[in-house]
Chains A and B, each alone.
Chain A
């Protein structure tokens, strides 16, 4: 339902230069006030935000801008509840940096200001994929400006492939190729200790999605309005992952911790991650490359993206909009590209040499957008994610059979959708 066409992204980068000159032409404003921003992510994102604030303050020197960061260390559920609580208690921020997972939840509740006019007036955004903006719409109105995105790739440790005498995976590899590689890359020592895992069967909703998409299916139906857990292809995916763990022994059972650290320590050969892992990989001097997820019936991966929105009824709307323009402008896009925390939304920024320098197959990030599908994000995403992960971990641990797990998850998901419909109707 959400295929970003590459053509859409290939809008001339001349627009970027044009946009920059428009910005420069603006004079200083003597309006004053305060703006509070809540962004998400880590150190790099905070630095990028601070740069944007500095640029904003050149035009609006009398505005006090404060920024808080939410690390999203436990997923988007806690973040959403926090934001809803802020609105319920009138302590909301003026600007929110958030992600697709939350769009429908926020928009359905009327927390955000529709910004179609603002977007139409801003020439910078012509360089962004229209499909990105399409996903920022809810019932015909746009509520967010996309800033950066992440698609899931298989990240693999090239040194470990070399040591095992395995050829590096090709972009069109199959599930079977993958499974064989994972097996070949698993190393046990004399006493039965696994000293190196071939793969980390993922434990996060976002990381798991490519497995469903490459089998032409999904946890939810295409318009995210009901469960699709009873599709036999879903069970097929789960069985495949289960076998990697329990038949091949190429992966530990997914627990509550992700295995980023073990990957950096060279104890896991392959993991599903997005671009945010790159700064850590560089720090650890890991000889790593990326390859699109292996395919069964179709080539596919998942994309999720970050965006910025304005709170309903925010004060000083003109300045707030100017701030949002900085938070989504060409300089910020360049900062994102350089810091490597995500893939920038603007194509021009993603072609900067800093972005393409590492990993060797960095251009693949953009190329896979051809067939990337958005992470399913209905207005009850919070519940959907929890229900799915709960059954998924139980099935991977062998605590419930895959047939029963799918059936029970299906029932719970549909209960949740029924509740959602009831509350939206009320």
Chain B
């Protein structure tokens, strides 16, 4: 008896040490993960000559906002471009939350003729790279006047095969018992969706929201193909302009622009990460 208790204490102590070692490694890794961002911010306060000096130092010699002023003073309409990025990301995220969840519920819970083939057709789209679809969209947009309008980029991503697939996966992993009981009580499908499925899906919804938002924020070549003029551009394209004719732009100024592009996203994430990540990490029924 006492021997096993002693053993248990030993393993517990060992486990605690392992825990600590793991956490120490994670901390080092975490710092490494953040280094590029540290450098990004640090470089944004330097002159070019200072930015390339070796040995590198992560702390800028002084807080010089010249590069930031240079971004805002440049003829690139930076704020307008920023708003375009935000608008596109928000519209796309909201759009996908609605369209993907509705479709996923139908695919996961309802029986109707052609359901499986429709779902299959939708899934195939998951494998179509943007390179396959962009050219016809470009020509079509030009005909309909959607070319060079930020909303045009948003429009083409209002739904996604991935979103439907993800939401359906989540729904299928959930118990049907509650829904079946509600059905027995005579509730309609829309009511079941709204009252029972949706509340359970909150974590999945936030997962989809982050994925969509970040993906949309990332779009580079799609934006490049569809959004020509500067006041229609998105942030990743603004960096191309600031990098200058054949790379002659000042990299420190580009870093300042990127810092500005990144900072609000980082702040948003710091404030909302509870919702953002716990939504994903807390699975299922607790909502």
Contact = CB atoms under 8 A, between A and B. Distances in A.
Contacts of A40: 245
A280 B248 contact: yes
A223 interface: no
A139 interface: no
Interface in B59-76: 74-75
A280 B246 CA distance: 13
A73 B246 contact: yes
A423 interface: no
Nearest to B49: A265
B241 interface: yes
A171 interface: no
Interface in A75-103: 75, 78, 82, 85-86, 88-91
A206 B245 CA distance: 12
Contacts, number: 93
B208 interface: no
Interface string B207-235: 00000000000000000100011100000
A377 to B, nearest CB: 16
B52 A46 contact: no
A262 interface: yes
Interface in B247-287: 247-252
B39 interface: no
B139 A68 contact: no
A316 interface: no
B276 to A, nearest CB: 33
A232 interface: no
Contact of A88 (B53, B74, B139, B250): B139
Given A74-B240, A89-B142, A195-B54, A261 B228 contact: no
A277 B247 CA distance: 10
A68 B232 CA distance: 10
B180 to A, nearest CB: 53
Contact of B48 (A75, A204, A264): A264
A31 interface: no
A47 B139 CA distance: 32
A398 interface: no
Interface in A35-84: 40-43, 46-47, 68-75, 78, 82
Interface residues of B, number: 33
B239 to A, nearest CB: 9
Given A41-B245, A78-B224, A204-B246, A265 B51 contact: yes
Contact of A43 (B53, B75, B229): B75
A284 B240 contact: no
Contact of B230 (A68, A266, A267, A280): A68
A85 B240 contact: no
Interface string B197-215: 0000000000000000000
Q: Which residue, A41, A261, A277, has most C-beta atoms of chain B within 10 A?
A: A261
B162 interface: no
Contacts of B245: 40-42, 71-73, 276
Given A68-B228, A74-B240, A89-B142, A261 B147 contact: no
A-B residue pairs, 10 tightest by C-beta = A89-B142, A258-B247, A265-B52, A68-B229, A71-B241, A73-B240, A265-B49, A46-B75, A260-B248, A261-B251
Given A68-B230, A88-B142, A204-B246, 13 more contacts: A69-B241, A73-B249, A89-B139, A89-B143, A89-B147, A90-B142, A260-B247, A260-B248, A261-B251, A264-B48, A265-B51, A265-B52, A276-B248
30 contacts: A43-B75, A68-B229, A68-B230, A70-B228, A71-B240, A71-B241, A71-B244, A72-B246, A73-B240, A73-B244, A73-B245, A85-B142, A86-B228, A88-B139, A89-B141, A89-B142, A89-B143, A91-B147, A91-B148, A206-B246, A258-B246, A258-B248, A260-B248, A264-B49, A264-B250, A265-B48, A265-B52, A280-B248, A280-B250, A284-B48
Interface of B: 47-54, 74-75, 138-139, 141-143, 147-148, 224, 228-230, 240-241, 243-252
